[in-house]
Amino acid sequence: MSVDRVKARIMSVMRNLPPLPAVTRQLLTTLGDENASSADVARVLSSDQALAGKVLKLVNSSFYGVPREVTTITRAVTVLGFTGVRNLALGFGSVEMMRSMNTAVDMRAFWAHALATGAAAQSLALYGTRRIDPEEAFLAGLMHDIGAYVLAAAVPDIYAPILEDHTREREVVEAEAIGMTHAQVGQGLLQFWELPEAFGNAARHHHDIARATDGAEPLTGLVALADVLATVWARPSEPTPSEADLRALINAHCSSPDRLRAALEGMQQKIVDTAEFMQLALPDLGLEVAGKGGQSALCVVITTEDDRREWAELVLTQLGHRICPMQPFFNQEPGTQDVELALLDTQCLSRQQLDQLLPFLRDASVNAALMMDQGVHTPRGAEHLPTVPAVFTRTDIEQLLALQPA
């Protein structure tokens, strides 16, 4: 299919999208009136009982932590603020529009990643280094890959195989097969909807690490980091970035380990709440963690690099696993015999250290994997071990735990 014909299909899909729901359009008009009051906004919200119910349920969720139950729409508007109400209405409205599009491609994974990214962006906005409205961050995260939905509707026969390919950068494959990327289409759609420019920029540039870390577009950078956190947590929709790119994003937008941990914790409940509010059928997101029905494994991260250890242990903990410190593990202290997985940092372990470690791990019947980015040479003598990237995902860890010790 020619590029011109693909473009024509995409434009046809965009033109035939239904308008935003009437209550959303009315809300945007009211919220744009500088003389509007909370009572005016509440009056519009109350005209749509379904939307009003969702807003009340959301504001009473654990994410907002209000001390007393909010029972009136007027009070909900006060708690959320005008920007929060606007972004919620746009979020619900955009979901309804996407649902109306016909596509043969199963897009549940799209919604899972979109929700995870929105939740991560909202959490990061609360704990990050730049002041960004949390509801605006959520909406930008929710819509950052919206161009993928348009492509799935416009050229499903071409796009379905692209969504299944997790080995190559999706934008590269899209450009080759379609002539444009989901990021370009997403920006075009958000401009078509006349949404704020910052949303379109976040959709267009969230894979551009240089642009996401230069400070010129804070929302773009926040969504870029949230996209990585969502990919790590949910089923991966594309390859994770290099450790250097991740570190640049963290340093630019959430340099405190405690804040990053709080953001990861906050996104979990937000995903569950929002999926319920928007009535989205999602694949398993692995949100059951240790102590709540999940399967917890005792893991050890063997590295001398503090940043790499902190990141790996943070992700493992968020995925519901437990951490065994290196020294007790090497000393074979009580309880360490239960270690199931050891991640070996090949960037700081010498050949001699690996030669000593591998027999020790084999005798202890511990699954071992090399933690290394693509393009890094596998150390001699360790070629038989599986590898995971430094920015590994939940799926990576599940696959390692399913293996027999090497």
- What structural domains and CATH numbers belong to the chain? 18-100 (no CATH), 102-287 (1.10.3210.10), 298-401 (3.40.50.2300)
- State pTM to two decimals: 0.83
CA atoms 187, 189, 194, 199: torsion sign:
negative
Tens digits of pLDDT across the chain (406 residues): 677 888 888 888 877 776 667 777 788 788 878 888 888 989 988 888 877 887 888 788 766 778 889 999 999 888 888 877 887 777 777 777 776 666 777 777 777 788 889 889 988 998 877 788 888 898 899 899 989 888 988 888 899 898 888 778 889 999 998 888 999 999 998 888 778 899 999 999 999 999 999 989 999 999 999 999 988 876 666 778 889 999 999 999 988 888 888 888 878 777 776 666 665 555 445 544 433 334 689 999 999 999 899 999 999 998 889 999 999 999 999 989 999 999 999 888 888 888 889 999 988 889 999 998 877 788 888 888 999 998 998 888 988 988 866 6
- Largest Cα–Cα separation, the chain: 73
| 226 to 11, 135, 263, 376, 392: CA distances (angstroms) | 29, 14, 9, 26, 15
Q: Quick one: pLDDT at residue 278? A: 62
Helices (H), 234-350: 243-253, 257-278, 306-318, 326-330
**Phi and psi angles of residue 370, each rounded to the nearest 5 degrees, phi first:** -90, 130
Q: What is the pLDDT of residue 291?
A: 32
